[in-house]
Amino acid sequence: MSMIENPNLLPKPEPRPVTPEALANEIIDKLTYGTGKDAKAATRHDWLTATILVIRDRIIDHWMASTRRAYGDNAKRVYYLSLEFLIGRLMRDAVTNLELQGAMRQALARLGADFDILAELEPDAALGNGGLGRLAACFMESMASVDIPAYGYGIRYQNGLFRQEISDGWQVELPETWLEHGNPWEFERRESSYEVGFGGAVEPVGQRTDGEMAYRWAPAERVIATAYDTPVVGWRARRVNTLRLWAAKPIDPIRLAKFNAGDHIGALEESNKAEALTRVLYPADSHIAGQELRLRQEFFFSSASLQDILRRHVQQHGSLRNLGDFVAIQLNDTHPAIAVAELMRLLIDEHEWTLADAWDMARAVFSYTNHTLLPEALESWPVPLMERMLPRHMQLVYAVNAIELRRARKLGIDGETISRLSMIDENGERRVRMGTLAFMGSHSINGVSALHTDLMKETVFADLHRLYPDRINNKTNGITPRRWLMQCNPGLYNLAREALGDAIMDDAETLKGLEALAGDAAFRERFAAIKRDNKARLARLVRDRTGTRIDPSALFDVQIKRIHEYKRQLLNIIEAVALWDQMRSHPERDWVPRVKLFGGKAAPSYHNAKTIIKLAHDVARVINHDPSIDGLLKVVFVPNYNVSTAEVMVPAADLSEQISTAGMEASGTGNMKLSLNGALTIGTLDGANVEIRDHVGADNIFIFGLKADDVARRQGEGRDPQANIAASPELGQALAAIEGGLFSPDDPERYRDLVAGLRSHDWFMVTDDFDDYCRAQREVDRLWMSPDDWTAMAILNTARVGWFSSDRTIRQYAGDIWNVPAA
């Protein structure tokens, strides 16, 4: 039994001093005894490790106190299951939430070190891809900040998402070796290790006393899941929660008989197979081997997490019958949906529950967050793969599917609708619908913006909503203001704090007090100066990474997100080509100097997305070196976009591009981060853009394009994109230039297929929205030419988006779904 989980074993520590002198002495002590280095010989990385260890000691004090309090209060715990946790660097986050910023800076200065330089050396944890993983990280910080006992469960990826490099404009994927030199934040918990099985067969073992048949699953393969814990500090250290990540290890690290027989590679086969489970995030699933590995990953971390949850509950409460009173499990998208079947297996096969009781308990403890309206993004697995990999779980899916479909039949639902309700998709290759399993196996299903939730009821879950009308609810996403204002934009934070006081990080909605200062000339000047400093910082980063020089006085037009056709980076690039053409044709006009900045990664097997990255570079090469426009327009793709890069780009943005096809973006959180930092949004009425417009005011945002119902109607009716192109000379000329090879003289055919897709079907409505997008961009230009009006509008955006704090979101989850108290 671990000390961290048994309050009786935890001594109460004496408070540690927080003076600069005491911290400096502790850093030297850690440098000597933690890294084995003398100060004279220490490298910057040694100083970083020593500093982290000093911070970590203070976190541990709060961590243990939080654990004792959870046990003493007999508190209900929240367990957040997510395949991604995009936590970024942790040192600045921890120091901020411990309120040690000033003392730690002074301590390091005494030692001749600089806090900011050391913070930049910390690697980004490569545990996520984009908004889904960053949301999970914000939620973990907010759960601790509003005093909810919680665990996050995920995978300790050794390489995680790839590191993006650009070679001749093309994305190249390289391993992100963030764990190469160890991770001083984590603690291995060898006592929290569990066997996870795959494959094999299911055997009946006789009838139980309750009359149900008992089964035993005999897996053909087994691996060990071992826990690694990272503490997550809430604001003002109110609570410290745990992010528990699973590493896969073989039961037999080496087959000595094979090794001694000369088969040195074969002897390590089990080790290699186990380690592959936690090697990378999202292995390419365009082939069966990739699909199998992805399913293995999802089951591996779900099974280990559930075994851990049940062990902890039984240890404290002695029985599983009250599990629903003390456990709330949130499924972050469909990736952990297999956990529903795994909980039932554990309850039925290992604790002799009936099928009906296990199904009832699953729905009592599970809740499910959906993050997509794209049917192809709702995971499904081929039935033969499930039967081979998880035969017992496939039996249980069939069993609960039968329960639910019989219920639907009794309610008079017709056969065609029942077919759509089924967990088994019979259209073509038979597949298990994981979204349906998560929906039926949960008591709450939430969307992540008001529009997304409404569309869920009408589209992907329309039939399920009619069968279970009380399950779908909305929880609009949020971001932690500590990371996305206080840490990444200290100048703006200090300005707001000076005006409004310290409470702005306790309740971000108090930022509304800045509204009254939007008309104050002196305040506007200070606000604008902070933005200029942030832009100069980004300009240095761009120069260092790409060699391109950009002018901080230009309008910084920023689109930073995963590269995907529905997010429409292509629309932005085509508009850049059209704008460039107009600048060349009409040099007499007063053009606004503009830098279009892109950042994001494309999935390795997503050809069109990778082609869009190449197009951005090809367009940049031509436009950025065209003397006829004298640097008025530049296009820059910032490589290897991650949390740390975002922390530089977000505070520097003047314009936030949120231009997804209406009805396809579930929420977005980049839109919230950028708006909080004083960027004005140009966007469609999609995802949380709708609610951002409602909060900042329709006069303080640039809205364009089709609405979601317009998109659905046009997609349903069919249309000819060629008519849109014919009606828009600027669009026609831009597309002709791209497909004709103007930007790719080395390969004139490079973009023929990309443009042909726009001409033939244009599923993402680029041609439909192009002219209105250009109109909105020219409105942006006109406002930019009135700096006072622009700055006033930027201040109003910062003032009015405090509602989008993840603290607010978590409080809503706590009250409406988890039934736990929150501060």
Reported as a pLDDT band with limits 50, 70 and 90, residue 9 is: low
Name the active-site residue from 567, 610, 634, 811: 567
Is the separation of the CB atoms in 147 and 823 below 8 Å? yes
- How far is Cα 562 from Cα 323, in angstroms, rounded to an integer? 38
Instruction: Lowest mean pLDDT of 6-20, 87-101, 206-220, 611-625, name the range.
Output: 6-20
The chain-wide mean pLDDT, for the chain, equals: 95
pLDDT in the model for residue 579? 98
Q: With beta carbons less than 8 A apart as the criterion, state whether 448 and 371 touch.
A: yes
Q: At what angle do helices 44-72 and 20-33 cross, to 10 degrees?
A: 110
Q: Is the pTM of this model over 0.85?
A: yes
> Which one of 113-117, 204-208, 210-214 scores highest in mean pLDDT?
113-117
Segment 799-807 mean pLDDT: 98
Report the residue count for the chain: 823
Burial 89-113 (b: 16+ CB within 10 A, else e): bbbbbbbbbbebbebbbebbeebeb
pLDDT given for residue 742 in this prediction: 98
The answer to whether 371 is a known catalytic residue is yes
pLDDT value at residue 718: 87
Instruction: Give the model's pLDDT for residue 4.
Output: 47
Known active-site residue 562: yes
Q: What is the share, in percent, of the chain residues with pLDDT greater than 90? A: 91
Least Cα distance to 666 among 354, 455, 398, 416 occurs for 455
Indicate the pairing of strand 187-198 with strand 221-233: antiparallel
Q: Are 5 and 315 in contact (CB under 8 A)?
A: yes
- Best CA proximity match to 141, nearest among 490, 473, 483: 483
Query: How many CA atoms are closer than 13 Å to the CA of 163, on its beta-carbon side?
Result: 11
φ/ψ region of 789 (left if φ > 0, alpha if ψ in -120 to 50, else beta) reads alpha
Candidates 89, 163, 371, 392; catalytic one: 371
Among 164-178, 368-382, 749-763, name the one with the lowest average pLDDT: 368-382
Nearest to 159 by CA among 173, 139, 172: 173
At residue 3 the predicted structure's pLDDT band, cuts being 50, 70 and 90, is very low
Alpha carbon distance 324, 366 (integer Å): 9
Band of the pLDDT at 252, cuts 50, 70, 90?
A: confident
What integer pLDDT is reported at residue 17 of this predicted model? 84
Strands 213-218 and 327-332 turn out to be unpaired
Residue 138 vs residues 289, 645, 672, 815: alpha-carbon distances, Å = 33, 17, 12, 18
CA angle 448, 79, 349 (to 5 degrees): 120
pLDDT tens-digit map of 537-595: 999 999 999 999 999 999 999 999 999 999 999 999 999 999 999 999 999 999 999 99
Task: Pick the closest to residue 812 from 192, 338, 110, 803 (CA basis).
Answer: 803
Nearest to 636 by CA among 494, 496, 539, 701: 539
Nearest by Cα to 125 from 182, 70, 198? 182
Whether 299 and 342 have beta carbons less than 8 Å apart is answered as: yes
Which among 304, 256, 254 has a CA at the least distance from the CA of 277?
Answer: 304
Q: What is the pLDDT of residue 11?
A: 57
Model confidence pLDDT, tens digit, residues 373-384? 887 778 999 999
Query: Is residue 625 flagged as an active site residue?
Result: no
Task: Report the 3 state secondary structure along 175-220.
Answer: CCCCCCCCCCCCEEEEEEEEEEEECCEEEEEEECCCCCEEEEEECC
Catalytic residue among 62, 134, 673, 800: 673
Residues 263-307 have pLDDT tens digits of: 667 766 788 888 899 999 988 776 788 899 999 999 999 999 999
What is the DSSP track for 320-375?
STTHHHHEEEEEESSTTTHHHHHHHHIIIIIT---HHHHHHHHHHHEEEE-----G
Q: Catalytic: 567? A: yes
Separation between Cα atoms, residue 684 and residue 704, nearest integer Å? 5
Is residue 49 annotated as a catalytic residue, yes or no?
no
Active site (annotated) includes residue 545: no
Integer Cα distance of 474 and 687 in angstroms = 12
- 3-class DSSP state for residue 665? coil
Among residues 345, 561, 634, 808, the one annotated as catalytic is 561
Residue tagged active-site, from 669, 684, 767, 798: 669
What per-residue confidence (pLDDT) applies to 1? Answer: 45
> Per DSSP, what are the bridge partners of residue 203?
216
- Whether the CA torsion 406, 410, 414, 417 is positive or negative: it is negative
Beta strands in 199-312 (DSSP E): 201-207, 213-218, 221-233, 240-250
Q: Two tokens at 677?
A: 């930092």
